[in-house]
Amino acid sequence: MQDAIPTTTFPTGKTVPVIGQGTWHMGERKASAADEAKSLRHGLDLGMTLIDTAEMYADGGAERVVAEAVKGRRGDAFIVSKVLPSNASRDGTVNACEASLKRLGTDHIDLYLLHWRGRYPLSETVEAFEALRQSGKIGAWGVSNFDPDDMEELFAVPNGGNVATNQVLYNLSRRGIEYDLLRDSQARGIPIMAYSPLDEGRLLRHPELIHIAKAHQATVAQVALAFLIRNPGVIVIPKTGMPERVRENRATVEIHLTDDDLAILDRAFPPPGRKTPLEMI
Ligand SMILES: NC(=O)c1ccc[n+]([C@@H]2O[C@H](COP(=O)([O-])OP(=O)(O)OC[C@H]3O[C@@H](n4cnc5c(N)ncnc54)[C@H](OP(=O)(O)O)[C@@H]3O)[C@@H](O)[C@H]2O)c1
């Protein structure tokens, strides 16, 4: 029996396991959609209940894969989706959410994010998010790709303090948020969702990671994920369409990095010594 996945709690009081599942590039090819849904369902069976998607992914195709994955078991999943900045006006946000709900085959999205900052004032998007929350179409709302200055601006708009998460690029190769954003978010009790936690697969060939993985009889993906989830309030959302890799990512909970491992990782992937612009993929 494997250890349970550790959890973190959003400011709304809702608790989720810190290893979830990404869906970028799912739904792009009809031939693979059924396998992708199966892989997500396997993750749900293993307790990886948070599924991250977006209206942008495969032009809604990824949300349709998620619909297939959660069919008949909506209650097992915590669905995160995102509105494109080009849709994030007061009315546009509501319309985009309703279109996502249709594609997802559900009556509510658990957490709805602004994918990145665009031309619409934050106050408009937040007003729409709050209306969606009041009507029960979303459980909570958050943002993505917001740097510390963006967060300060958000906190200054009416109800901006209701933000539940900030989803940002965070992995061993991209540690910039450790300088400020991560600490600020932890202090405010706002979980960070680390996207591209395997740096889109690029980390998997790194020699130091291979070395540490061997010492733990683990895989490189597990070491890379374990490094991130040892931080309180960090959720990882690795994407894979392969059930055996879902199992592998889930088993990250068995890996406990030592101080020596962390020192090696700090040498191979130096932590930020100063403020760096937030990177985006
Ligand atoms: N908010 C944003 O702006 C933003 C931006 C980027 C991503 N995201 C979200 O974050 C999720 C994750 O990021 P990502 O998809 O960019 O990259 P990622 O999760 O870092 O890496 C995905 C790649 O790693 C492979 N992989 C996954 N688990 C593996 C394992 N155990 N062993 C070997 N290879 C493995 C996958 O291949 P296979 O599928 O072939 O297994 C895929 O090629 C996305 O899917 C999306 O939901 C959000």
| pLDDT of 123 | 98
Q: What is the mean pLDDT of the chain?
A: 97
Pocket test for ligand 1, best of 18, 170, 173, 198 (most atoms within 8 A of CB): 198
What would the pLDDT profile of 78-117 be if each residue is shown by its tens digit? 999 999 999 999 999 999 999 999 999 999 999 999 999 9
Residue 57 annotated among the catalytic residues of the structure:
yes
CA-to-CA dists, residue 273 to 177, 208, 269, angstroms: 11, 21, 12
| pLDDT of 155 | 98
Which whole number is the average pLDDT over 262-274? 97
Which whole number is the average pLDDT over 60-65? 98
Question: Taking 80 as the threshold, does the pLDDT of residue 54 lie above it?
Answer: yes
Which whole number is the average pLDDT over 38-42? 98
Which whole number is the average pLDDT over 63-78? 98
What would the pLDDT profile of 146-156 be if each residue is shown by its tens digit? 999 999 999 99
Residues with CB under 6 A from ligand 1: 22-24, 52, 115, 144-145, 167, 195-201, 204, 221, 237-242, 245, 248-249, 281
Which whole number is the average pLDDT over 188-215? 97
Ligand 1 atom having least distance to the Cα of 199: 20
Question: Taking 90 as the threshold, does the pLDDT of residue 1 lie above it?
Answer: no
* Confidence grade of residue 176 (pLDDT, cut at 50, 70, 90): very high
| pLDDT of 84 | 98
d(CA 128, CA 120): 12
Span from the CA of 27 to the centroid of ligand 1 (angstroms):
14
Question: Taking 90 as the threshold, does the pLDDT of residue 237 lie above it?
Answer: yes
d(CA 243, CA 11): 32
Q: Which CATH superfamily is domain 15-202+228-245 in?
A: NADP-dependent oxidoreductase domain (3.20.20.100)
* Confidence grade of residue 2 (pLDDT, cut at 50, 70, 90): confident
